[in-house]
């Protein structure tokens, strides 16, 4: 994330993790799950945004996770259920073993000190969207199953997924969060505090128009595809950057945080008419719901399970992926 402001060092409060109340055993799993998600997703217990482009506050974005490869932060991600994380497909390297990956949760720093709150989980499974195309970044979305579920607390809570009718359209102001570079090739310095930035949404056609300016790509050949959206400014400057990939763009919908986008790519960072490009989560809400057993899309009238209506997704487990896999790319 490119931020003009000098980082303010946050006093990292050693917050006692609150255990969430166990669900009553007499509720059916699906119902209990829907309930817990409905009441808990998208509602941090802490709030404190003041200006765009600044350090986040502990507990402010409790769904933000860090995806690690060999212990190094490589991408952001979001907790969407007790054992599931949403991130970008391009975060994974097909040559890597599944055991190389882990997920850090409940931390405001991507490299927390031993005494700071944090949870680390191994990865049980990585599900890359079956239509992911590295060449165009279409369907650059992936689900990660944690080896064991987390317990929700003040610092670990799920984000809500969009439901049809959520007002996540052009001009809506949202927030992107991440531990990415603070400039094209300048990594986030210690103490690696999560950054937050407020940006307006830009629809795919408008963004596609920007990207065709000063570009060799013919106008009839889309650059920003239908499953993408952009966020940022025509003038550039404030943007997501390398290392923010896979992380969230979240919007306040009636007091609940809903994830509109997954950070996917950009042309460098912060250039004019080159806003950050995100996968539009709405496009894949059904895929996510049908892939994660028991996940409810935070809809008001969500009685019939959508999952049964869809073919089971093709599960591409890491290591079995084809050979058309992109290297990790910036943003």
Ligand X SMILES: *[C@@H]1O[C@H](CO)[C@@H](O)[C@H](O)[C@H]1NC(C)=O
Show the 3-state SS of 48-64.
CCCCCCEECCCCCCCCE
Stretch that binds ligand X, among 112-120, 150-158, 168-176, 269-277 (CB under 6 A): 168-176
Sign of the Cα pseudo-torsion (44, 162, 301, 287, in order): negative
Question: In angstroms, rounded to a whole number, what is the distance separating the alpha carbons of residues 76 and 169?
Answer: 23
Residue 289 interacting with ligand X (CB under 6 A): no
| Minimum CB–partner distance for residue 23 and ligand X (Å) | 10
Instruction: Catalytic residue, from 36, 55, 66, 90: name it.
Output: 90
Stretch that binds ligand X, among 69-77, 198-206, 287-295, 300-308 (CB under 6 A): 198-206
Residue 138 interacting with ligand X (CB under 6 A): no
Question: In angstroms, rounded to a whole number, what is the distance separating the alpha carbons of residues 85 and 257?
Answer: 16
71: nearest Cα among 98, 100, 94 = 100
Residue 139 interacting with ligand X (CB under 6 A): no
Span 221-240, contacts to ligand X by CB under 6 A: 229
Candidates 8, 21, 24, 39: give the one binding ligand X (CB under 6 A): 24
Residue 295 interacting with ligand X (CB under 6 A): no
97 by Cβ neighbours in 10 Å (0-12 / 13-18 / 19+) ranks as: exposed
Candidates 54, 87, 282, 291: give the one binding ligand X (CB under 6 A): 282
| Minimum CB–partner distance for residue 163 and ligand X (Å) | 11
| Cβ closest to ligand X, residue 24 vs residue 327 | 24
Question: In angstroms, rounded to a whole number, what is the distance separating the alpha carbons of residues 234 and 85?
Answer: 31
Instruction: Catalytic residue, from 66, 129, 138, 140: name it.
Output: 140
12: nearest Cα among 90, 91, 114 = 114
| Cβ closest to ligand X, residue 24 vs residue 254 | 24
| Cβ closest to ligand X, residue 188 vs residue 277 | 277
Stretch that binds ligand X, among 59-67, 153-161, 187-195, 201-209 (CB under 6 A): 201-209
Site size for ligand X, by CB under 6 A?
12
Candidates 204, 249, 269, 316: give the one binding ligand X (CB under 6 A): 204
Distances (CA, A) of 321 to 74, 92, 245, 314: 19, 10, 20, 11
67: nearest Cα among 220, 180, 193, 225 = 180
Residue 283 interacting with ligand X (CB under 6 A): yes
Residue 168 interacting with ligand X (CB under 6 A): yes
Q: State the CB neighbour count (10 A cutoff) for residue 125.
A: 16
Q: In the stretch 25-44, what mask flags binding to ligand X with x, by CB under 6 A?
A: -x------------------
Beta strands in the chain (DSSP E): 54-55, 64-69, 72-81, 84-87, 101-105, 119-128, 142-146, 173-178, 195-202, 228-231, 248-253, 256-265, 276-280
| Cβ closest to ligand X, residue 78 vs residue 193 | 78
Q: Specify whether 140 is catalytic.
A: yes
State the residues that interact with ligand X by CB under 6 A.
Answer: 24, 26, 168-170, 201, 203-204, 229, 280, 282-283
Catalytic residues: 90, 140, 245
């Amino acid at each position: 994330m490119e931020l003009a402001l000098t980082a303010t060092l946050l006093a990292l409060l050693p917050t006692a993790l609150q255990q969430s109340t166990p669900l009553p055993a007499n509720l059916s799993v699906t119902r209990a799950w829907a309930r817990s998600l409905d009441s808990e997703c998208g509602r941090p217990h802490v709030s404190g945004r003041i200006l765009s482009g600044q350090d986040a506050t502990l507990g402010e974005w409790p769904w933000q996770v860090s995806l690690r490869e060999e212990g190094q932060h490589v991408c952001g991600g979001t907790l969407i259920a007790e054992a599931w994380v949403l991130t970008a497909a391009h975060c994974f390297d097909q040559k890597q073993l599944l055991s190389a990956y882990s997920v850090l949760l409940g931390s405001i720093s991507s490299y927390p000190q031993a005494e700071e709150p944090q949870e680390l989980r191994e990865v049980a499974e990585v599900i890359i969207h079956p239509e992911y195309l590295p060449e165009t970044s279409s369907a650059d979305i992936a689900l990660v199953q944690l080896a064991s579920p987390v317990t929700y607390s003040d610092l670990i809570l799920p984000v809500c997924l969009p439901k049809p009718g959520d007002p996540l359209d052009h001009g809506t102001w949202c927030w992107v969060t991440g531990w990415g570079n603070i400039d094209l090739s300048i990594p986030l310095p210690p103490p690696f505090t999560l950054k937050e930035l407020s940006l307006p949404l830009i629809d795919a056609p408008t963004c596609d128009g920007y990207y065709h300016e000063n570009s060799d790509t013919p106008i009839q050949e889309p650059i920003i595809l239908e499953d993408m959206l952009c966020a940022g400014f025509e003038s550039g400057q404030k943007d997501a950057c390398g290392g923010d990939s896979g992380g969230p763009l979240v919007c306040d919908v009636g007091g609940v945080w809903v994830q509109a986008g997954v950070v996917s790519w950009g042309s460098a960072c912060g250039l004019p008419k080159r806003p950050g490009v995100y996968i539009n989560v709405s496009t894949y809400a059904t895929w996510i719901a049908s892939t994660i057993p028991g996940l409810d899309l935070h809809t008001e009238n969500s009685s019939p399970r959508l999952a049964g209506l869809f073919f089971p997704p093709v599960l591409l487990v890491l290591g079995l992926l084809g050979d058309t896999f992109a290297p990790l790319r910036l943003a």
